[in-house]
Every structure is written in structure tokens, then in C-alpha cells.
Structure 1
Amino acid sequence: MQPSELATEISDWIKARVIEAGAKGVVIGMSGGLDSSLTAVLSKKAFPDTTLGLILPCDSRSRTEDVAYARMIAAQFGIETKEIDISRIFAAFLRLLEVDVDSEIEIDIATANLKPRLRMVCLYYFANKRNYLVVGTGNKSELFIGYFTKYGNGASDILPLGDVLKTEEQRLAEELNIPREIITKVPSAGLWEGQTDEAEIGMSYSDLDKIILAMVTEDFKGSRAGYSGCDPELVERVRRMADASQHKREGIPVFRKRC
């Protein structure tokens, strides 16, 4: 599918889902990265007058360039934004939980995951206040291996990029005239200083997407030939991550009593 056609289909899908829910618009967390920028622009196409972007720096280490990129996208595409510094809330949580900031904040994943979960609270506040839906920014690559925070950036009402691989996003972003510096910037969830997605995942998105494509192609299922050119260790790593994160992609299990 051509990028222009895909962009139209996604925007139409966003509009249909929101109308179906009886909502009036959408709210998106804007981090300045490719995923959120792309989601915001597609949402703006669907709802020109009722798209809200939230820029939510969460501590003093939040990169000023990320905020600048989020502002750039908002200005270029005319997206209404609210910028809310939630650093003090984050700091208060750390004190209440007795987190040793100096020794733990850069390495403890439970502490780092507080950031996207606090942002989720803000997104749903404005969604509730305005009768909007929260639009998630995750892509197919991240969903497949569970690379998102449960009830954090993984919490949303709709997920328009959920069937779009990370490497496919670049062509889509170019079609929508998203600035080149955002398309090429190193992906990072900003969980701690110096953190990057690919370092945490343990491979490049290019390698990850190649493996995912092999795994989801019917002809390749269960066939080693399908992974020709893929590092066997990386294939196994993707399998482990996908299996271990299955609970993050499913609904909450409900006990069913016998009749």
C-alpha cells in the first residue's frame, strides 16, 4: 500500500472509531519522537478542530530537544497543545515510595515506568473532561515484543499505528511532511538518561522488523528457511520477548464460575 493511501485509511479509521464511541475528539501524548508525531498528525487529519496534544516533561532530565520537537510538530500542523510539567508529581511519588533517586533512577525499571503511568493519568483526565478518546502511539514492532509500559504508554482507547512496523513509519512520515530530524532521531522512550529503544531491545528496529515479518508470514511459520538472513540468536530473543509479554497484549483474565 502506498504511504498516501495508508495515511488516508488510518485517518478515516481514527474518525470512525471516535464517532462510534460517541466522543468528540482525541488526545495524544506528544514526546517529540516519530511515533507520537506521526500519530498526532494523523489524528489532526481526522479531527482538525478537536485534536489535543499533551507535552508532559516528567523530570529535570527530560530532554529539552524532545519538548522542542513536540512544539515544532504542533506549530507546523496547527495542533492545540497543553504543556504540563509533571516533575513535581514524579518527585513526590519517588519520596512517597522511598526511592533512592541517586542510585536507582537510572537503572530500576519499576521506577522508570512511573513516568509513562503518570502521563497516562493526565491523558485520561483531559479525555474524560472533553469527551475525547486517548490515541495510543505504539507501533506493531513494539506491540509484538511487549516493548511498552502496561497501563502507561500502553494504555489507550485506539491504536492507529498498531499494525505499522517501525521501519514502515518512516515512509509514512515522509508522506506527511514530518521534519527529517524527527524521522531520523534515535528512538528513545526517555525512561532514563541516555536510554535508547534499540539498546534496550537488544537489536536494531531493522533486524526486529525483518524477524517479525518472517514470524507473521504464514509460509514461514515453523520453518527455519523463513528466517534466512536473520541472526538465530536474535530470532530466539524476539520469541522470548513475545512470549513473555503476551499478558500485556491480552485483556484481563476473568474467572468464570461453573453453571
Structure 2
Amino acid sequence: MRIDVSLLPVLAATFMLVFARIGAMVMLMPGLGESNIPVRIKLSIALLLTLIFLPLHRNAYHVDLQSMTSLLVLMLHEIVIGIVLGATARVTLAALQVAGSVIAQQMGLGFVTSIDPTQGQQGVLIGNFLTILGVTLLFATDSHHLVIAALNDSYAIFAPGETMASGDVAALATRAFAAAFRIGLQLAAPFLVFGLVFNIGLGVLARLMPQMQVFFVGVPLSIFAGFLIFALVLAAMMGSYLDYFIGVMHDMIPLK
């Protein structure tokens, strides 16, 4: 009995190419690409997804083991595609940080910072809370499956070996950053209105009662009213964010 092993080198090269695209995306994917998640867990998830996607897209790769240069170029191409997809999903979390920063400034808590567990650096406390809540809701509502679906359908948009349209990638990145900033301001819109009205009221009160220490009255009242509004609009804010995230993921999935 003879076993044909001639396909093993090609299969191994194809596996590494699929792993390059998936691994790059997993390292940036919201909820999985966080700095406090062990690298072994990230690699395990990337390997598991590679084993799932390999039989589906194996025929899309045309591997030439006679030319190492073309193989390295193809791997670099796959890594760039994974980074583009992962960064597009990652930038959606920036909307929550923008909203948190605006809300904190309007409430008078802009100086209160803590370590952002998703980035491993200092961030506004309310922004960190919204980011953690957003990641939790993505997994609770199974919205992270859309990221995996976008990765699977990326082979229809970015076929292996084809030249990637740099203009389309730049347009995708521009739209993603612009949408994140716009959604962040829209989520914080109630607090922008609150801050405007509240500060105008304090200004009028200071002119009517010059002897009154407006600052000592305004700061605790601003924080109390801000948290009250925050509790009332939090559910609507996160619902709007989930709709935004789902919309971004659907833009990455081609129509069938």
C-alpha cells in the first residue's frame, strides 16, 4: 500500500496562507484582539478558524512552490487583507471612546481616567465603561459572528493572488473612521444639549446672584444630572451602537 504525500507541501503552504489572513484579523478583532488576552488563546482561535476555512477556500489558492518570492508576496497580501478587515472592525470601538470622552467633558468628569482594558492605556472612565459594555453586548448578541462571516466572504472581495485595489481600501478606511466619529457624537448628543443648557443656566444664575458660589453648586449638580441622563439613555445608546456595528459588518459582506 502506497500513500501519496506529494500534496502535503502544497497543503501546508495553503494552510499558512489562510492562517496569515485569519491570524492578522483575530489579532485586531474586537473582544479577541485585546492586549490583556493571552497570545496562546488568540493563536488557538486563529488556528481553529483556519481549520474551518481551509477546506472551503483551499481551491482559491494557486501555490507555486518553485518560486519562494511569489509565495512570500502572496503571504504579505493575505496579511494586509487580514489587517484591513480586523482594523475596520476594531475602529467601531472608537465610536464608544469618542462618545465617552464627550459625555465625560459635559458632566465634568473629563479628568477621571483609568486603564482601558481593550487598549492597555489611559482612557476616560466613562469611555472605558462604554467600550467594555459594547464588547460584552457584541458577544451577548452573537454579533461577533458577523465578523467571522465577513472574513469568510472576504475571499469573494479580495481573491487570493489578485491585486488589491488600494483606492477601495483607502475609501473603506476613510468611511470607517468618519462613521466612528459621527456615531460617537450622535451617541453623546443628549449630553451636548444638556451641557449647553446647563452652562447657560449657570451663567444666568451667576449674573442674577453674583454673591453665590456657582462653581460649588454647579459641579455636583452637573455630575448628578449627567448620571441621571446617562441611566435613562444608556439602553438606547447601546442599541444604536449595535445597529451601527451590524451595518459596518454588512458593508463588508458582498450581496449574494
Give the TM-score of the pair, scaled to structure 1: 0.23
Structure of higher CA gyration radius: 2
Structure ranking higher in helix proportion: 2
The answer to which structure, 1 or 2, has the higher relative contact order (CA under 8 A, 6+ apart) is: 2
